[in-house]
Amino acid sequence: MGERKLLKEYKRLWQARKWMKKNEPFLQAWHAHLGYSLDLFKTFQVPNTPQMIAERYGYRLDLLERWVEVGVALGHLKEKRGGKVQAKKSMVTYLSKDSDQNVGVLLKEMMELHIPTMLTYRNLLQGTEVKILEEDIGYTVAETSGLLESVMFPKIADVVKKQKVKSVLDVGCGHGGYLHRLHQKFPDIKVNGIESNKEVQKLALKEAKGTNISIIEADFMNYVDQDQYDLLMMNNLLYYFTFEDRLRLFKRARKLLQPKGHLLIMSPLARSKHGQRFASGFNSFMSAHEDMYPVPTQKELTSYAKQSGFSLVTCTPVIREGGWYILVFKKK
């Protein structure tokens, strides 16, 4: 009996160590997010002591020293002479706010939106109403969506070229990143965008100043346009709409498309071949919000297409680990 008990204790200890190791990636994300949010990596771009930085910015020295210790242990920071530390070049490049290569907004979305929501899941599951801290999600999501553009755009450009598209309407265009890329690569085509978030649309208009890009603030469901388009795009949009409204989106899109026009949808797909860890976790986050809904399946989208007069042309995985696909539908 003594050996059996000892074996159980060893197994228990092994399980505890396993879960400790699984927590290490969160420590890296926490450290990087704090460094990005306070621009600490840029601050430590030149070797400095924690005391010098704490005095300069009014930070608590003890907490800054702990952040530095973690950063050294993770390899985000390097120790220098005289008690100074310096940020690794890659951390400065990718997690400084003024860097044109920064990816910090992705950490912002995860740490400030997704994780706080997931921590309320127990209460929500038990039927307890919880006030989830909501900042302007629209701005953050528009920024993170922009990170996908360099990967997604070549696929979109292929559709534009292959179908000889002369006009594009981007629904939920965010900051207009895809429209700018289209305008640069195909300067002769008409590119318009619709954005329902007023603040996001204002910023998009500012970015589009001096171009032929048109971006209006409107609810697509009630949007009236005298023109019809060759291509209509919906990127990272469907999780803002109920299942019933998604069918309405397809029907509305059909009315705004030229005969044999195309509808392009970029979205994570649930129950697909790729990226189901991400898609299932994403759906948990979406379901915890009153005004957000699970990502679709390919079967669901194909059903909407059939009901609204479209046929599926292609369904292409683009970011496999995230379950992101581009689906192209043709108006019958």
Return the CATH number at 77: 1.10.10.10
Q: Is residue 175 part of a domain?
A: yes
Q: How many domains does the chain have?
A: 2
Q: Is residue 281 part of a domain?
A: yes
- Domain termination residue (choose one: 53, 82, 102): 102
- Domain termination residue (choose one: 46, 74, 102): 102
Q: Is residue 125 part of a domain?
A: no
* CATH number, residue 299: 3.40.50.150
- Say how many C-beta atoms besides its own lie within 10 A of residue 169's C-beta: 27
pLDDT-derived band at 141, boundaries 50, 70, 90: low
Three-class SS state of 95: coil
Give the DSSP letter of residue 48. B
Two tokens, residue 306: 């059939």
Give the residues across from 329 on adjacent strands: 263, 312
pLDDT at res. 148: 78
pLDDT at res. 266: 94
User: Based on the domain organization, do 175 and 47 belong to the same domain?
Assistant: no
pLDDT-derived band at 244, boundaries 50, 70, 90: very high
User: Based on the domain organization, do 6 and 152 belong to the same domain?
Assistant: no
User: Based on the domain organization, do 85 and 174 belong to the same domain?
Assistant: no
- Across 46-60, 104-118, 135-149, which has the greatest mean pLDDT? 46-60
User: Based on the domain organization, do 39 and 149 belong to the same domain?
Assistant: no
User: Based on the domain organization, do 152 and 286 belong to the same domain?
Assistant: yes
Range of the domain at 171: 140-331
Q: Is residue 114 part of a domain?
A: no
Q: Identify whether the C-beta of residue 266 lies closer than 8 Å to the C-beta of residue 234.
A: yes
CB-neighbour burial class of residue 330 (10 A; exposed 0-12, middle 13-18, buried 19+): middle
pLDDT at 319 exceeding the cut of 90: no
Q: Is residue 110 part of a domain?
A: no
| Mean pLDDT across 90-115 | 91
User: Based on the domain organization, do 172 and 87 belong to the same domain?
Assistant: no
pLDDT at 175 exceeding the cut of 80: yes
Give the DSSP letter of residue 322. G
User: Based on the domain organization, do 224 and 322 belong to the same domain?
Assistant: yes
Task: State the DSSP string of 211-254.
Answer: SS-EEEE--GGG---S--EEEEEEES-GGGS-HHHHHHHHHHHH
User: Based on the domain organization, do 98 and 147 belong to the same domain?
Assistant: no
pLDDT-derived band at 133, boundaries 50, 70, 90: low
Task: State the DSSP string of 157-211.
Answer: HHHHHHTT--EEEEET-TT-HHHHHHHHH-TTSEEEEEE--HHHHHHHHHHHTTS
pLDDT at res. 96: 96
User: Based on the domain organization, do 40 and 186 belong to the same domain?
Assistant: no
User: Based on the domain organization, do 26 and 80 belong to the same domain?
Assistant: yes
Q: Is residue 65 part of a domain?
A: yes
User: Based on the domain organization, do 66 and 204 belong to the same domain?
Assistant: no
Q: Identify whether the C-beta of residue 217 lies closer than 8 Å to the C-beta of residue 201.
A: yes
- Domain termination residue (choose one: 72, 102, 132): 102
Q: Is residue 122 part of a domain?
A: no
User: Based on the domain organization, do 97 and 154 belong to the same domain?
Assistant: no
CB-neighbour burial class of residue 235 (10 A; exposed 0-12, middle 13-18, buried 19+): buried
pLDDT-derived band at 226, boundaries 50, 70, 90: confident
Distance CA 327, CA 253 (A): 14
Q: Is residue 132 part of a domain?
A: no
